[in-house]
Amino acid sequence: MAKKLRCIKCGHVWISKSRAELVTCPRCMRKIKPVIIEEVVEDSKVKIRDKVFAEIISIKNLLKTYEEGKIHIDALIHLINQHLTNIEKELEEVLR
């Protein structure tokens, strides 16, 4: 799990996945025992959620394009089906 760290020497804040007790600050390059500000939840479910939202936004954009008369209905249906298939795959990963 990633942690948000702060350097005790220069105050720089960064995210690290290191499990070591001592880490090197990327700004001042000193080996320090950092202050842990917070645990950062960076799990696969968050990434999958972001991918699903991106697919939904793509579908909305396709619908706008159709309303503007720039895309044929058959192409619209085909592309929406592709996006829905991608969403299904992402959600199946969550359920594993």
Q: What is the pLDDT along the chain (96 residues), one digit of tens a residue?
A: 688 899 999 999 988 888 888 999 999 999 999 888 877 665 667 778 778 888 999 999 999 999 999 999 999 999 999 999 999 988 887 676
Residues spanned by the domain of 68: 44-95
Same-domain check for residues 48 and 62: yes
Round to whole Å and give the CA distance between 60 and 32.
48
pTM of this structure? 0.54
Same-domain check for residues 58 and 24: no
Report in angstroms the alpha-carbon separations of 55 from 17, 73, 77.
29, 19, 14
Same-domain check for residues 31 and 49: no
Same-domain check for residues 8 and 34: yes
Same-domain check for residues 9 and 52: no
Residues 6+ apart with CB under 8 A from 41: 1
Same-domain check for residues 31 and 62: no
